[in-house]
Amino acid sequence: MQNTRKRKQIFPKNNKQQSEITITKIKSNKTKKNPKTDTIEPYPSHPRPTPEDCLAIRDELLEFQGFPEEFAKYRDERENPELNSSKLINGSEKSEVSAEKLSVLDGLVSIVLSQNTTDVNSQKAFGSLKAAFPTWELVLAADQNLLENAIRCGGLAPTKASCIRNILSCLKERSGKLCLEYLRDLSIDEIKSELSSFKGIGPKTVACVLMFHLQLDDFPVDTHIATTLGWVPEGADAKKTYLHLNRRIPNELKFDLNCLLFTHGKMCNRCSTKTVKQEKKESVNKPCPLLNHCKKSD
């Protein structure tokens, strides 16, 4: 039967009243703190970003470019928790929903393959891997050269293949199952500890798994944009930037802001350190909406 439930609107456009409601909600949730990470303040005297900064940039980027289509399925999963179920077949996790629904382990591997390459190449590498080895058991049993060949189009094949094999080997040794769905029952700090224990898995990969594949509130680091906006001091490193932004950005806005800033950074020559010309096209003839939010020049 077709679901006729009306989807709630979570991305207001030019709606001052809705923005004020969002700010009220954000301020009311400030008392809900993480007992471990919320005690860490790497830049206690640095005032930005404020909740108002985050909301204004979210709304302006949304008006400027719309919500990125590539992240729409993850938004749907956050709105509809029933889409997150999975099951085990012969010890490996399989999605019950559709071919587009990734398990947590699928998601982690796809993020590993996305490192230091384009979206197109990483998607090709993941598709090639799944076509060559339909189950994670087959990946674990595969010869290293065959595994590298399957993902070579994504670049850094030897490094990424070793990382994937290490993840699978550790999972097999720990639980006998190639599955990460148990992470859904853990706290954010426990999930971070589990994922960080895999060799080659850093904070940004962990944050992406939390946000996209576990539907939890976290904010992956982009030190370039954070510095440009004046959200962190000059010279801030990635670790301290991550701690600072995840403390200051309201949970209600982390998913929105990450998706919008990530997409904007690819499209805007001014806001990115990369030079992928074919992806940077929208801001050529439009003023960058972040200009008014950037720190003042010295």
Active site residues: 204
The Cα–Cα gap between 174 and 118 comes to 33
Mean pLDDT, the chain cut into blocks of 10 residues (298 residues total): 40 47 56 49 93 96 94 88 51 44 93 95 97 98 97 97 98 95 96 96 95 95 90 93 95 96 85 49 66 68
The amino acid that residue 33 corresponds to is: K
The Cα–Cα gap between 224 and 238 comes to 10
Question: Following CA atoms 209, 122, 105, 166 in sequence, which dihedral angle do they give, to the nearest 10 degrees?
Answer: -110
The Cα–Cα gap between 50 and 247 comes to 10
Task: Report the pLDDT value the prediction gives residue 43, as an integer from 0 to 100.
Answer: 94
Radius of gyration of the chain (CA): 20
The amino acid that residue 70 corresponds to is: E
